[in-house]
Amino acid sequence: MRLSSRSLAIVLCFVVAAAQSVAAQAPTIAGHWEGGIDVPGTRLAIDVDFSKKDDGSWTGDISIPQQAAKDLPLVNVTVAADQVSFEIAGIPGAPTFKGTISADGAKITGQFVQGGQSMPFDLARGAANAAAAKDAMAALDPWIEKAIVDWKVPGLAIAVVKGGQVVHARGYGQRDVDGKLPVTTKTLFAIGSSSKAFTTFVLGTLVDEGKLDWDEPVTRFLPGFRMYDQATTNMMTPRDLVTHRSGLPRHDLLWYNNLGISRKEIVERLPYLEPNEPLRAKWQYNNLMFVTAGHLAEHITGKSWEDNVRQRILDPLGMARTNFSVADSQKADDFAKPYDERDDVLKEIPFRVITTVGPAGSINSCVDDMAKWVTLHLARGKAGDRQIIGPSTIDDLHNPQMVMGGSSERPDISPSSYGMGWMVYTYRGHAMVEHGGNIDGFSALVMLLPKDDLGLVILTNRNGTPLPALLARHAVDRLLKLEPVDWNADALAKQTLGKEAQKEAKTKKNTVRKVGTKPAHAMAEYAGDYEHAGYGTLRVTLAGDRLQATFNGIPVPLEHWHFETFNGLKDPKDPTFEDMKFLFQTDVKGNVASVAVAFEPSVKDIVFAKKADPRLSDPVYLARFAGTYELAGQLITIAVKGNGLVATLPGSPEFHLVPGLGDEFTLKEASVVSFAFVTDEKGVVNAMSVRQPDGVYTAKKR
């Protein structure tokens, strides 16, 4: 049969359309793939990215997290119908993959050949794995909703990163309970000590630039840096600063709520803080060393720690909502208020301003921003096409540096070590890098599983809650398809026992009190300013018949406990010093001379020495004491010199009068001799009492 020209055209159009349809249905390898190679005895996780060039040829890269290999280039990528092959460039043994694309284009299976050995491999499209991760997290929603009620957590936000993608990000509960405002992925929370990793990252970039060396003495980069003893001063390195092995316990009350001190001044106070261990002998958490690390970066760069973090991390990553002060958070359109459980009731508490110790913990962020931070670490310091920090430097930050001590809670969870700004351990066979954060009203956790290319960030607006860690474990178990463990039930049971024990202990606290005693001095004699070179000033005032102590702006009413010890009562606004004991001490002259407080329980009590009346250093006030006094026929001339007094005797050099306690001045050149000036009923100085070990002499004013 012969076709007409019109019929032939119709047939040709049909053939062309059919060919196009077949081409459209042919599988493509473009995109992200995840899977593994079944090497003898284990499975090696891999992920692969393919893309098509303008000339129609294929290119790609492969990452092997367990071997710390990231984005190795692929060559000889070929696709023919449902067959695909590709090689890893520059690796001995010509590692080659040859596989078949499934009919639906969702999987590739085949053989991996290297050095004459052949092993099966499989890949699944990243979208499918992302969907599985999303499903796993979605299934966890009911658990989270119940857990925030169980733990009295007002609000929580979480983001999960897998294979370079944010596979889950969501807010739960309320950022503002009274306002009934919901948590979103943009809600700002304080991340507390999770900020430490930002400080070590900044230092790492300085190492990359050759401006810092982890293992050279700090004094090489920060002249004037000093610790309690010279040997520690000489040996302390930047690595020591950020691994909690300085030998110094926390001494946190030095900085807590201290709004009148700079980072530089904190570093200058370090020589006056007593250590309790030798350098590098023991892991002891210390925020002051991270403040020092931040100040070190400031000194090297000539820029503030905040500017360094912003320019080296936040701006390159696009973390636009992240800030360094809770004051800035409260100016934002979406921020969480802080809460704590007090007397079994959840209450909103004031924001705690800690910008002075920013390098140790003042960053505020949201899970949208923090997911970018997590992604950067999982990519070994690479953001898009830009390598922000060297891969080996990231590895150094994540690697164990100092054993933290302590045993493991379970055989499948290893004891922890500390990296640099990160805690490092093995969780149920998976390498874990994490750091929590707790500051008044907020608890946070940032967690990385580098070999699984998985990361999480969890932020809450509840003080000291274990929920971030519990949620992270439940999420990881689901995402990695591990045998389920009811971490939450065990923790809730322990919390109940802990609360019961605490209540019982409170009922017995008065049993250690010595009853029937009274203070040795009149209440007014305890009042005054007490000073410590490291901690600063502790003020004691008398209001009515009760003493009140104030330190770093935090007041605490004092009740007499026994003998010369006073106990801190509860201040509803800030219970920091509740039940803390203040031991007043008397000098040999009977003056209240100092007060000892256990501000750092790991060392001897911190002793604050009572300061002299400030008027005794005021030249105007001192002028009333100037004049000539006669003692047993000998003339003593008292004169004002600068902001002090000097005494001269005929034929003798000047003697300097140092302000003492009460109404006394001590002779600088002979501390056993003191002077007190005597006034008449009108307050006019008419004599001087000279007090020596053998007696008290009176010198009349002429």
622 and 572, same structural domain?
A: no
Please give the average per-residue pLDDT across 416-430, as a whole number: 97
Residue 312 has what DSSP assignment?
I
Neighbours of 526 (CB within 10 A): 23
Domain range enclosing 36:
31-126
Judge whether residue 509 has pLDDT over 90.
no
621 and 603, same structural domain?
A: no
Q: How confident is the model at residue 13 (pLDDT cuts 50, 70, 90)?
A: very low
Q: How confident is the model at residue 65 (pLDDT cuts 50, 70, 90)?
A: confident
389 and 341, same structural domain?
A: yes
**What domain count does the chain have?**
4
Boundary (domain end) residue, out of 610, 642, 676: 610
pLDDT of the residue at 7? 40
The Cα–Cα gap between 607 and 579 comes to: 18
391 and 324, same structural domain?
A: yes
The Cα–Cα gap between 257 and 254 comes to: 9
Could you tell me if 160 and 456 are in contact, meaning their C-beta atoms sit under 8 angstroms apart? yes
Picking from 389, 392, 395, the residue whose alpha carbon sits closest to that of residue 206 is 389
Judge whether residue 701 has pLDDT over 80.
yes
87 and 72, same structural domain?
A: yes
Tell whether 23 is covered by a domain.
Answer: no
Q: What is the pTM of this model?
A: 0.85
Please give the average per-residue pLDDT across 542-556, as a whole number: 95
pLDDT of the residue at 15? 34
CATH number, domain of 122, equals 2.40.128
Dihedral of the alpha carbons of 265, 268, 273, 277, in degrees to the nearest 10:
120
Query: First-to-last CA distance in the chain?
Result: 149
pLDDT of the residue at 409? 82
pLDDT of the residue at 1? 41
Long-range contacts of 124-132 (CB under 8 A, 24+ apart): 124/33, 124/34, 124/35, 125/31, 125/32, 125/33, 126/31, 126/32, 126/33, 126/34, 126/47, 126/163, 126/165, 127/31, 127/32, 129/34, 129/162, 129/163, 130/162, 130/163, 130/165, 130/167
Neighbours of 577 (CB within 10 A): 24
493 and 373, same structural domain?
A: yes
Top pLDDT among 325 and 507 is at 325
Judge whether residue 9 has pLDDT over 70.
no
CATH number, domain of 168, equals 3.40.710.10
What mean pLDDT value characterizes the chain? 92
Boundary (domain end) residue, out of 126, 158, 187: 126
Tell whether 511 is covered by a domain.
Answer: no
CATH number, domain of 605, equals 2.40.128.600
| 208 Cβ neighbours under 8 A, 6+ residues apart | 389, 390, 393
Q: How confident is the model at residue 214 (pLDDT cuts 50, 70, 90)?
A: very high
387 and 309, same structural domain?
A: yes
Tell whether 509 is covered by a domain.
Answer: no
Could you tell me if 397 and 419 are in contact, meaning their C-beta atoms sit under 8 angstroms apart? yes
pLDDT of the residue at 341? 92
β-bridge partners, 701: 629
Judge whether residue 550 has pLDDT over 80.
yes
Judge whether residue 75 has pLDDT over 90.
yes
Weakest-pLDDT range from 23-37, 367-381, 506-520 = 23-37
580 and 629, same structural domain?
A: no
Tell whether 654 is covered by a domain.
Answer: yes
212 and 172, same structural domain?
A: yes
User: What is the tens place of the pLDDT at every residue in 241-276?
Assistant: 999 999 999 999 999 999 999 999 999 999 999 999
Judge whether residue 142 has pLDDT over 90.
yes
Please give the average per-residue pLDDT across 493-507, as a whole number: 86
234 and 114, same structural domain?
A: no
Q: How confident is the model at residue 319 (pLDDT cuts 50, 70, 90)?
A: very high
543 and 444, same structural domain?
A: no
Q: Where are the beta strands (DSSP E) in 178-303?
A: 181-182, 189-190
Tell whether 181 is covered by a domain.
Answer: yes
Boundary (domain end) residue, out of 100, 126, 152: 126
Tell whether 208 is covered by a domain.
Answer: yes
CATH number, domain of 679, equals 2.40.128.50
Judge whether residue 71 has pLDDT over 60.
yes
Tell whether 131 is covered by a domain.
Answer: no
The Cα–Cα gap between 70 and 47 comes to: 9
The Cα–Cα gap between 36 and 429 comes to: 17
User: What is the tens place of the pLDDT at every residue in 333-353?
Assistant: 999 999 999 888 999 999 999
272 and 381, same structural domain?
A: yes
Tell whether 655 is covered by a domain.
Answer: yes
